Structure 1
Amino acid sequence: MSEVIQQGVVALNEKLDGEGFDGLAKFVIEEEGTIVLDSDGARAADDDADVTLTASAETFRGMMDGNVNPTMAFMSGQLKIDGDMALAMKLAAVLS
């Protein structure tokens, strides 16, 4: 597992604050791996999901540390979303 994935799992679980995520979402971090979020929290996995968000490691790190707004990343093409847009918006609220 890459360091980006390890750090991402930790950061996402901190943002979820022990609450888990009501849905099944997956982050694909290009050239690094995947992270799945569900009611149990975030973990390194490549399960099928209701929504898949794809970004570079740089964009993903920026979203985790608050320097990149997920909505703006999507609008500028830095973040690709495939699947349930309502669930993606819910996830964006968690990341903010």
Structure 2
Amino acid sequence: MTVDQIEAQMKANVLNFVGLGALVKFELGGGSTLFIDGRTTPPTISREGGTPDTTLTISPENLAKLADGKLAPTLAFMTGKLKVSGSMGIALKLANMLED
């Protein structure tokens, strides 16, 4: 799945991120990034953003698996497929939103 496809999928499911209350940056490698701005209602998904509350580093392939429910966020973190910097609390909140 390409970054464009992941972005489109996230935009289609943007209401899943209502209540996030934070700016989350996904670093996807190769200079590609996606942001979820959960400080707005409805949340917005974009390629650019300000200083994030939490940064998640993950490959596009593994992010697609997370979004499809084929990879559990906790397992991804524990196996090193997902790295978190910034607020772990926000990362956990986002993980719960992805699992719902």
Distance change (3 Å), C-alpha of 1:44 and 1:20: farther
| 2:35 matched residue in structure 1 | 36
| 2:15 matched residue in structure 1 | 17
Q: Does 1:92 align with 2:95?
A: yes
The percent identity for this pair of structures is 32
8 Å contact from structure 1 (residues 32, 57) kept in 2: no
Alignment of 1:1-96 (within 5 A): 4-17=2-15, 19=18, 21-31=20-30, 33-38=32-37, 39=40, 40-96=43-99
TM-score, length basis structure 1:
0.83
How many residues align? The count is 94
Q: Which consecutive unaligned segments of at least 5 residues does structure 1 have? A: none
Which amino acid is 1:17 matched to? L
Q: CA RMSD in A?
A: 2.0
Q: Which consecutive unaligned segments of at least 5 residues does structure 2 have? A: none
- The separation in 1 between residues aligned to 2:80 and 2:55, in whole angstroms, is 14
Q: Secondary structure at the match of 1:52?
A: strand
Q: Please, which moves more after superposition, 46-55 or 15-24?
A: 15-24
**TM superposition shift of 1:43:** 1.1
